[in-house]
Amino acid sequence: MSPSQNTIAAVVMSIGALTAGALTTHAVAQQTPPAAPPAAVADPDGQVIKSEKQTFKIEVVAREIETPWAIAFLPDGRLLITERPGRLRIVEKGKLLPEAVKGTPKVWEKQDGGLLDVEVHPQYAKNGWIYLSYSEIVPDYVAPPPPPPGAEPPTPPPAAQQGRGRGRGGPPDPPTMTVIVRGKISKNNEWTDQQVIFRGKPEIYSSTNAHYGSRFIFDKQNHLFYTLGEKNDPPKAQDLSTPLGKIHRVNDDGSVPKDNPFVGKGDAVPTIWSYGHRNPQGLAWDPVTGKLWESEHGPQGGDEINVIEPGHNYGWGVITMGNDPRVPERTHEGMEQPIVYYTPTIAPSGMVFYTGTRYPGWKNNLFVSALAGQQLRRLEVAGSEVTHQEPVLSQLGRVHDVIIGPDGYLYVTLQVAGQFLSQSTPGMIARLIPVSQ
């Protein structure tokens, strides 16, 4: 067994039982924690799991991945993996290539920051574009000189600027922000032809290392949707003059579609599609209704699953189902309520509606990955309601992303749970193989 596998055996545990069971619209998953956590799974490869509507086996397809954040398939079957410390990895013909893609952007990695999402253009076979998001230090940053010997330490910034909880930043951390680029991978495994899709103005960079977003999804017209967190500054989510705390919609080259809801409306950022978001990390298209679904992290509970409508306000900065003294209200006129929310937190991230044929009982169900919840959660959906839920996967560590592979199987990232939430730890990529019941 490798050192990382030994680590997995030592520290992975499940809290999936906290949120098991059925939920209806606007319900909250809130249960008493069990007396003791279930036994950890040392190595999930080959483990058979029986869920309510499908029995499946875990098949590990790549190991020795450090803090996997996102995955995406190329048309030729290669699997792209982002490692949060800043590496873009490739699984080719069932094997993880030993070297990361050369020449990818330099990232700032701390707490929520690092190399984040990856997405492949729907017309990749024609244009070769791959999209990446990451956190960077503000361009032309000059670090302040160290204090003289014996000087008093600097006064910490307010909570809105430094973040809350273990592992988050503040001075002396530099100002950072999410950046979105597209590029191509050459035949010699090098990142080339990079173009910037989004880079914010220097004034929106901040020293907090929390709430960068970010998730990508394309629509049928090849518009790119991307999410940005509010960098732990709640009022920014309500401010249409800043891109923070929003879902954005752009053309595939980053230009602004003329039919975006805030085009030509004062000083509103024209790429905004919806606003009032805290830290959105999941997007998925409902194959039945065509609606866009979204997941976002709440403050000490109050994680949300939303159906996104253009121009609508989802409340963060004014309302929350979680616990943040800066945001005291639960409801407010003109602001959307979540479809479902979770207290205690499960920290929902990547999500996908299952549209394949490998798991007949899961057709058109929504699958949501969870970090704090350390689970893959299945949601049955009817229109804009969630009628039932179950955690189909637990005891295997933090789950940051879930996608459908070209073979019709679900693929997930798995990461060992560390001593604190932001710790970088070993992980792997696995797929769910159906087993006859």
Strands 28-29 vs 340-342: parallel, antiparallel or unpaired: parallel
Six-digit token string for 290: 């065509």
Assess whether 211 carries a catalytic annotation.
yes
Active-site choice (211, 277, 297, 312): 211
Cis peptide before 214 (omega within 30 of 0): yes
Nearest-angstrom CA–CA distance, 280 and 282: 6
Residues 56-80 as b or e (16 or more Cβ within 10 Å = b)? bbbbbbbbebbbbbbbbbbeeeebb
Taking the C-alpha atoms of residue 70 and residue 80, their distance in angstroms, rounded to an integer, is: 8
The enclosing H or E element of 306 equals strand 303-308
Query: In 3-state terms, what secondary structure has residue 361?
Result: helix
3-class secondary-structure state, position 425: coil
Cβ burial 389-404 (10 Å sphere, 16+ → b, else e) = bbbbbbbbbbbbbbbb
Report DSSP letters for 68-134, one per residue. EEEEEE-TTS-EEEEETTTEEEEEETTEE-SSPPBTPPP---STT-SEEEEEE-TTHHHH--EEEEE
How many residues belong to the chain?
A: 437
Q: How far apart are alpha carbons 175 and 144 in whole angstroms?
A: 12
User: Active-site residues: which are they?
Assistant: 211
